[in-house]
Amino acid sequence: MPRPRVLSGVQPTGALHLGNWLGAIRNWVALQDSHDTYFCVVDLHAITVPHDPARLAEDTLTTAALYLACGIDPQRSTVFVQSHVSAHSELAWLLNCVTPLNWLERMIQFKEKAIKQGDQVSVGLLDYPVLMAADILLYDADLVPVGEDQKQHLELARDIAQQRINARFAPRDAAGEPIPVLKVPEPLILKDGARVMGLTDGSSKMSKSDPNEGSRISLLDPPELITKKIKRAKTDPTMGLEFGNPERPEADNLLGLYALLAGKSREQASQECGAMGWGTFKPLLAEAAVEALRPVQERYQQWRQDPGAVEAVLRDGQAQAATVAEETLDRVRQALGFLPRS
Ligand code: AMP
Ligand code: TRP
C-alpha cells in the first residue's frame, strides 16, 4: 500500500507568525512519518494582492527556509515553489472553466480581502481558491493540513473535484463504471492552534496583513521583541487566566498559546495559571515563546548560512513535484478531450 499523500502550503508574504506555525506547519512535521508529504511555498497566491517584486524571491526563500527550520525534512518531504511547477497554473485554468462564478463570490476570505482593497480587487483574488484547488488536486492529496480559516477553500476543492470533474468527465472502465479523474481530498484541522488570535485583539485572528506588527509574533522575532510584544498584549481587568469565557477572548487566546508553546495540556495550563495575575503570567508566556522558537531560529540561521542550500532543496523538490503533477494534468487534459501533445 502506498502511503497516503499530504499537500499543504503557505504564502511567502512577510514573515511567518505563530498562527502559521501552530495552526499549520507544526502539524505537517508529524505527518512526515506516516504520509507521503508535499509542501510548497505558494508564491502565485502571494501576487493576488499588490506585492513588491523586489521582495518576492527573498520572501520565497525565507519561507522555504522556515519550513526546514520548523522540522520539515527534505529527505522525507518534497519541498518546492509553486510557480516552479507550471502545472499549477495550467490546471487552475482548466478548473476555472468548470467552476461556477458564484461559488467563488461566496468565499468568506475573498469578501474580507476584497473589502479591504476597495476597487483594486484583481481577478486573481477571486480565483485564488481555484488555484488552491489545483495545488491540492495535482498531487492526489488525501489530506490537507491547514488552519480553520482554510476550511471553506478545502470544501470548494472537494466540490470541484467531485461535482465538476469526476461527475461530468470520468472515463468508464470495461464494466461501465466511472474511473475518477481526481482524488477528493480531506481537510486536517487540529483543534488546538487552528485559530490563533492576535495579541492586540483577542477576537481577530493573528494575520500577516495586520498593519500593527505588535499584533503578531513572527517566528524570527528576537527574544527581546517577543517579550516586548507580549508585555504590550491586550489584557482585561480580571484576575486569573481561563479558557472559554466569551467575555475574555484575550485570556482564552494567551492561555491557549501558553499551553501550546510550553508543551502542556490545556488542563495543566489552566491549573497552573488559573489564579495568576497578568503581571505574573505574561513573563511566563514570554519565556515559553522564546524557548519554543529558539531551536527554530537556530536551525533557520544554519540553513541561511549556506547560500545555495535552500535553493538545492527547492531544485530537487521541483523535479519530484513536477513528475507527479504532470501525470495528473495529463489525466485531466485527456478527460476533457484535448488533442494529446506529441
Ligand atoms: P497564510 O499565512 O494565509 O498563507 O496561511 C498559511 C497557513 O497558516 C494556513 O494553513 C492557515 O490556515 C494557517 N494560519 C494562518 N493564520 C492562522 C492563525 N491565526 N491561526 C491558525 N492558523 C493560521
Ligand atoms: N490559501 C492558503 C492560505 O492562505 C495557502 C494555500 C495555497 C494552501 N494553496 C494551498 C494551503 C494548498 C493548503 C493547500 O493559508
- Ligand 2, atom 6, lies closest to the CA of 9
Chain segment 139-190, per-residue pLDDT in tens: 999 999 998 999 999 999 999 999 999 999 999 999 999 999 999 999 999 8
How many Å lie between the centroid of ligand 2 and the Cα of residue 9? 5
pLDDT at residue number 307: 79
* Ligand nearest to the CA of residue 7, numbered in listed order: 2
Dihedral angle of Cα 156, 162, 163, 169, to the nearest 10 degrees? 130
- Ligand 1, atom 12, lies closest to the CA of 147
What's the rounded Cα separation, in Å, for the pair 309 and 275?
48
- Ligand 1, atom 15, lies closest to the CA of 20
pLDDT at residue number 191: 82
How many Å lie between the centroid of ligand 1 and the Cα of residue 150? 8
How many Å lie between the centroid of ligand 1 and the Cα of residue 18? 9
Chain segment 78-97, per-residue pLDDT in tens: 999 999 999 999 999 999 99
- What tens-digit pLDDT sequence spans the chain (342 residues)? 889 999 999 999 878 999 999 999 999 999 999 999 999 999 999 999 999 999 999 999 999 999 999 999 999 999 999 999 999 999 999 999 999 999 999 999 999 999 888 878 999 999 999 999 999 999 999 999 998 999 999 999 999 999 999 999 999 999 999 999 999 999 999 888 889 999 999 999 999 889 999 999 999 999 999 999 999 999 999 999 999 999 999 999 999 999 999 999 999 999 999 999 999 999 999 999 999 999 999 999 999 998 799 999 999 999 999 999 999 999 999 999 999 988
What's the rounded Cα separation, in Å, for the pair 196 and 259?
12
Ligand 2 binding pocket includes 43 (Cβ within 6 Å): no
Do strands 143-145 and 77-81 pair parallel, antiparallel, or not at all (unpaired)?
A: unpaired
Residues with CB under 6 A from ligand 1: 10-11, 19-20, 23-24, 146-147, 149-150, 194-196, 205-206, 208
Planar angle of CA 159, 162, 166, nearest 5 degrees? 145
Do strands 77-81 and 36-41 pair parallel, antiparallel, or not at all (unpaired)?
A: parallel
What's the rounded Cα separation, in Å, for the pair 300 and 68?
7
Cell digits of residue 306 = 549556506
Q: What share of the chain is helix, strand, coil (3-state, %, to 5)?
A: 55, 10, 35
Residue type, 223: P
Cell digits of residue 265 = 495540556
Planar angle of CA 206, 212, 218, nearest 5 degrees? 55
- Ligand 1, atom 17, lies closest to the CA of 19
pLDDT at residue number 69: 97
Burial pattern 276-313, b for ≥16 Cβ within 10 A else e, equals: eebeebbebbbbbbbebbeebbebbeebbeeeeebeeb
Ligand 2 binding pocket includes 146 (Cβ within 6 Å): yes
Mutate to test the pocket of ligand 1, among 6, 7, 10, 72 (most ligand atoms within 8 A of CB): 10
pLDDT at residue number 155: 98
Residue 200 near residue 234 (C-beta atoms within 8 A): yes
Looking at the annotation, which residues are catalytic? Answer: 113, 205, 208
Residue 144 host element (H or E) = strand 143-145
Dihedral angle of Cα 292, 294, 295, 297, to the nearest 10 degrees? 120
How many Å lie between the centroid of ligand 2 and the Cα of residue 284? 33
pLDDT at residue number 238: 94
Helix ranges, 106-199 (H): 108-117, 123-137, 151-159, 167-169
Ligand 2 binding pocket includes 45 (Cβ within 6 Å): yes
Cell digits of residue 138 = 495535482
